[in-house]
Structure 1
Amino acid sequence: MNFEQIIYTVDGHVATITLNRPERMNALTRILETELRTAIEQAGSDKDVRAIVLTGAGRAFCAGMDMEELEVLPPEDIRAEQWMRPFDMNRRADYQTRYSYFPAAPKPVICAVNGAAAGLGLVMALYSDFRIASDKAVFATAFAKRGLIAEHGISWMLPRIVGHAHATDLLLTSRKIDAQEALGMGLVNRVVPADRLLAEAQALARTLSADVSPRSVRVMKRQLWEAPYQSLGEAVTLANAEMVESIRSEDFTEGVAHFVERRPARFSGR
């Protein structure tokens, strides 16, 4: 598929999605938003893709909604049917909404934050499975400075990642923080030099594609994202059921075989 505002490439088992409006700091438009969801769906359904890297072109990751579109955005657009369509009918409704669909993707999403991640740019990063930041990255919620509120579930997600105190600080002050402060509060997994960011993110994607079972990754991603809605007993019951299925899988057979035979794994994802 040809895209206008993103770049979509596949190298081996890794799909890389690049937000491509560098002249506007990759600010979101309806076109970019639609293309991003299409690309995530495409990567999720591609049997050869095992991990997804999301980054931005130029000096920013995503500066939020494009102000020219925000100025004329009808209030009811937030709940427009085109944005609320189901991503995966087998996943919780919580992960079917406009920006919360990354957790419903069956492949891990690695967010390589190359520069500013503000507003909706931060929201996208929060819904990713991994966040690797360039040493030039900066983060801000931005909503309070625009007269808005904590959008798209960020009031639920942000405290679960950085804790209530940090979330309150970031949301109510809208202040910018740099990559090192983000690392200190647990907002990102690691910080790397800017010229190594994409290579580091893609290396992690290759590890997830080759060194561990794609089937295990797929199931564990689902367990992690659904656990906040479960009691301990429910999580244990689900894990026991999934354990039976994993022992029956091809990847379990290969996981034992490559260890015993002392050779690289050849996981099928089944």
Structure 2
Amino acid sequence: MELHVTQLSVDNGVGLVRLSRPGRGNSWTTRMNAEYRWLMSCLDDDPRVRVIVVTGAGQQFCVGADTKALDHYRESDQDYLESFRNDVMATPGHGVRPEYEHELIWHWGLQKPVIAAINGACAGIAVALAAYCDLRYAAAGAKLTTSTPRLGLPAEFGLSWIMPRIVGLTHSADILLSGRVFLAEEARAMGFLNGVMPRETLEEEVLRIARGLADSTSPVAVKTAKRQLYADLMRHDAGAAIEDSRELMGQLMKQPDFSEAMRAMKDKRPPAFSPLPGTAMGSTAS
């Protein structure tokens, strides 16, 4: 796919996806959705990539849906739901659980961890995108808002489901009912962010964290833990989670990565874990 509103680079086991609409605040469009889904599908299938980072070009992460596109629905007869049909788009994260085969929550079906590096304004759909990433870091002073109450619209993309699970009901009610702007520092205090960093060093620091994950963790173990994390979020049986984890422990103890970890510990060296199987993208990940 030819990229018009996104950018991609791959280095040291980390795939960096950049939302890029210069002059439009990296606002979200159908084209950006198509490119983003395609890139994430490719990166998830590339054995060279172990961690994925998502950020924005310039000084903003994503200011939400393009305002011209939003205004189009007000004046036209086009159905909003039909406009989000993605039959011809890539389907990253599909085939794991039916619950994940919907917009944005497909991030949970990916094999690899996804880190959001919120480098500036993050509004509307961008808040939801970040919420479905596995880890979230933001630049100091970055502004976040769901926006929708101030536009006469409801909570979107399942934010009413995911936000209480990240920050609790009290903070979620504040965020979703008011649509107010809040800063990265407050988002960190709520528990929405894993960390806040100076804007000038955010990308460098997040890439350092991503490379650390890529270098020091077993891809199959990370994939398994990610599957556990979100599957267990959907059920209420702690005992079943324990028994499933014991079964998985037995399975992974028979895998090459566990043997390599034991040898590396004995030899006092970093382990050389195997990549996840996949089809390398070749020139796509240039």
TM-score (norm 2): 0.90
Which residue of the partner structure matches residue 37 of structure 1? 37
* AA in 2 matched with 1:15: G
Note the alpha carbon deviations across 1:90-131, whole angstroms, 9 max, x for none: 311121101211111111000000001111010000000000
Q: Structure 2 vs 1, CA of residues 34 and 135 (structure 1 numbering), >3 Å: closer, same or farther?
A: same
Is the CA contact (8 Å cut-off) linking 1:84 and 1:98 kept in structure 2? no
Is the CA contact (8 Å cut-off) linking 2:63 and 2:121 kept in structure 1? yes
Could you say what secondary structure the match of 1:191 adopts?
A: strand
Is the CA contact (8 Å cut-off) linking 2:105 and 2:132 kept in structure 1? yes
- Post-superposition, which runs of at least 4 consecutive aligned residues in structure 1 deviate over 6 A? none
* AA in 2 matched with 1:164: L
Q: Percent same amino acid at aligned positions?
A: 34
- Post-superposition shift, 1:88? 4.0
Which residue of the partner structure matches residue 149 of structure 1? 154
Distance in 1 (CA, whole Å) between partners of 2:135 and 2:113 is 8
Is the CA contact (8 Å cut-off) linking 2:119 and 2:139 kept in structure 1? yes
Which residue of the partner structure matches residue 19 of structure 1? 19
Distance in 2 (CA, whole Å) between partners of 1:31 and 1:79 is 11
Is the CA contact (8 Å cut-off) linking 2:93 and 2:107 kept in structure 1? no
2:269 equivalent to 1:263: yes
Which residue of the partner structure matches residue 82 of structure 2? 77
- Post-superposition shift, 1:215? 1.2
- Post-superposition shift, 1:76? 2.5
- Post-superposition shift, 1:86? 4.9
Could you say what secondary structure the match of 2:61 adopts?
A: strand
- Post-superposition shift, 1:83? 7.8
TM-score (norm 1): 0.95
Which residue of the partner structure matches residue 2 of structure 1? 2
1:82-93 mapped onto 2 (5 Å cutoff) = 82=87, 86-93=91-98
Which residue of the partner structure matches residue 55 of structure 1? 55
Match of 2:201 among 196, 202, 221: 196
Is the CA contact (8 Å cut-off) linking 2:92 and 2:107 kept in structure 1? no
Match of 2:191 among 181, 186, 189: 186
Count of residue correspondences:
270
Note the alpha carbon deviations across 1:12-67, whole angstroms, 9 max, x for none: 21000000013111110110010001011011000110000000001210111001
- Post-superposition shift, 1:237? 2.5
* AA in 2 matched with 1:141: T
Distance in 2 (CA, whole Å) between partners of 1:53 and 1:81 is 23
Which residue of the partner structure matches residue 284 of structure 2? none
Which residue of the partner structure matches residue 226 of structure 2? 221
Could you say what secondary structure the match of 2:128 adopts?
A: helix
Which residue of the partner structure matches residue 165 of structure 1? 170
Could you say what secondary structure the match of 2:87 adopts?
A: helix
Greater RCO (CA < 8 Å, at least 6 residues apart): 2
Which consecutive residues of structure 1, in runs of 5 or more, have no partner in the other structure?
Answer: none
Which consecutive residues of structure 2, in runs of 5 or more, have no partner in the other structure?
Answer: 74-78, 277-286
- Post-superposition shift, 1:78? 5.8
Is the CA contact (8 Å cut-off) linking 2:38 and 2:89 kept in structure 1? no
Is the CA contact (8 Å cut-off) linking 1:251 and 1:269 kept in structure 2? no
Distance in 2 (CA, whole Å) between partners of 1:17 and 1:89 is 20
Distance in 2 (CA, whole Å) between partners of 1:186 and 1:232 is 23
* AA in 2 matched with 1:243: M
